[in-house]
Amino acid sequence: MRKVAYLLGAGASAQRLPVIASMSAVILEQVEWLKNEVRTMALGPAGSIAELNGKLDKYLGALDDLAVESVKYVSVDTYARWLSNDRKLSEIKAALSTFFAIEQFRKGYDPRYESFVSTLLDHDEKAINKDAVILTWNYDQHLAQVLKRATGSSSVRDVMRQHSITTLHRLQKMNITDYHVLHLNGIAGMYGRGTDHPILDRYEPGSLTASNLNVWLSQFELLSQERYTSSDSPTNLMCYTWEAPDVSDPFWNGITASLADVEKVVVIGYSFPDLNRAIDRRLLLSMSKLTEVVVQTRADAMDGIMTKLQMILPELKDRLVPYPLVHEFYVPNELITATEG
C-alpha cells in the first residue's frame, strides 16, 4: 500500500503556469501572444481566415472577461462558484481548458517535474514507485507530459491509462477506485465522450500553426455550448470541488482506501483554499497512520500556510514540518530508499 502521499497545488507548476496572484496578467499576456502569432501566421484562403478570426475573437473575448473577473472575485474558481451550474459556467470551463492547454503548449512543463519523475520512477518497470500516491488540485498535465517523455509512451492518453492518472469525475462515472495520480479538480484538457483524450496528445511545445490553433478554438466553441449536469459525460475534464460527491457519500470510502497506510504527506505549493476544505479534511484525516506532513512552499508564504493548517486541521498540528526550499520537489527518504533498492 501507499506510504507517501503528495498533495499538489498551483505552486507545484508555478515555473510555467500562473498562480492566483498572476492569473489575470498571464491571461492578458496570452491574448497579446495570440494576436501577435496570428499576424505572422500563414492562414490560407480568405474564407478560412475569416472563420479562424471569428473563432479567435470569441476566445479572446472570453479571456478578457476571465481577466476582469479573476481580479473582481480574487480567483477564477471563486467566480465560477458564484455561477453554480449556469450556462456561463460551461463557458468559463471552456476558456480555462483552452487557456491552460495553450499555456502548456507555448511554455512546456515545470522543469522540476523532471527530477521528481526521475526519482520516483522505477526505470525497469517504467512505473511510478508503488509506495507513492499523488493527489493534485492542478488542472495541468505536467506530470503526464514528463512521464510520456521518460517512458517513451506514444501519447498522454496512454500515459494516463498506464499510470492510473484520472479524475474524481471519471472514477465516479466508471464506478472504480483504482488511481495512482488523482486530479481532484479535473484536468484542463478535452476528451471524447467515454474515453480520456487530452488535447495535449497532439502537440509538443513549439511554433503555433493555423491548424492546431483551429483545433483548439473549435474545441473551445464546442465546450462553450455544452450544458453540464451531474448526469452528463462532459467533454470537458474540469470538474470543480462543489460538483464532486459530498464527503459523506460512500464514494469516498473507495478513494480513501488507497490512503489508509499513508505515513507521510508532502504538500507542495498548496494554500488550502476554503472551497476545497471539506475534501482536504476528508482525505488527510483518512490517513490513520499519518506521522508527518511536510509543507513545501516559499519562505515568505510559510507562516501563513502553517497558521491556516493549524486552524483547519488542528488534529495534525504536531505533525507539521516546514520545508521552505522550492527549487526542486521534496522526496522523502522512504521513496529514495525504495527506488535505490
Same domain, 260 and 183: yes
pLDDT bin (cut points 50, 70, 90) of residue 193 is very low
Q: How far apart are CA 192 and CA 198, in angstroms?
A: 9
Same domain, 57 and 169: no
Same domain, 277 and 143: yes
What's the Rg (C-alpha) of the chain? 20
The chain-wide mean pLDDT, for the chain, equals 87
298 and 263 in contact (C-beta within 8 Å)? no
Same domain, 54 and 173: no
pLDDT at residue 84 in the model: 64
Same domain, 216 and 336: no
Find, among 88, 56, 85, the residue nearest to 69 by Cα.
Answer: 88
Q: How far apart are CA 65 and CA 99, in angstroms?
A: 13
pLDDT at residue 62 in the model: 95
Same domain, 299 and 188: yes
Same domain, 43 and 121: no
Percent of the chain with pLDDT over 90: 53
Query: Tell me: the pLDDT tens digits for 94-118?
Result: 899 899 989 998 999 999 999 999 9
pTM: 0.91
Same domain, 180 and 217: no
The region of weakest confidence among 77-86, 142-151, 182-191, 194-203 is 194-203
Q: Residue written as cell 483518512?
A: 286
pLDDT bin (cut points 50, 70, 90) of residue 198 is low
Burial 252-270 (b: 16+ CB within 10 A, else e): beebbebbebbbbbbbbbb
Paired strand residues for 320: 293
pLDDT bin (cut points 50, 70, 90) of residue 165 is very high
The region of weakest confidence among 151-165, 193-207, 232-246, 272-286 is 193-207
234 belongs to a structural domain: no
Same domain, 89 and 225: yes
237 belongs to a structural domain: no
pLDDT bin (cut points 50, 70, 90) of residue 297 is very high
User: Greatest CA separation found in the chain?
Assistant: 66
235 belongs to a structural domain: no
How many C-beta atoms surround the C-beta of residue 2 within 10 A? 18
Same domain, 185 and 67: no
The region of weakest confidence among 4-13, 228-237, 275-284, 309-318 is 228-237
Question: In Å, what is the CA distance from 158 to each residue of 194, 219, 224?
Answer: 15, 21, 27
Q: Give every strand in the sheet of 292-296, ordered side by side.
A: 165-167, 181-183, 132-136, 4-8, 264-268, 292-296, 320-323
Find, among 297, 301, 282, the residue nearest to 327 by Cα.
Answer: 297
Q: How far apart are CA 301 and CA 128, in angstroms?
A: 30
Please state at what angle helix 23-39 crosses helix 46-72, rounded to 10 degrees: 170
236 belongs to a structural domain: no
221 and 80 in contact (C-beta within 8 Å)? no
pLDDT at residue 59 in the model: 96
Same domain, 53 and 185: no
Same domain, 83 and 152: no
59 belongs to a structural domain: yes
Check pLDDT > 70 for residue 197: no
**DSSP-assigned letter for residue 87:** H
How many C-beta atoms surround the C-beta of residue 336 within 10 A? 13
Check pLDDT > 50 for residue 306: yes
Q: Residue written as cell 508564504?
A: 301
Domain region containing 250: 4-15+110-194+242-340
Per the structure, the count of domains in the chain is: 2
92 belongs to a structural domain: yes
102 belongs to a structural domain: yes
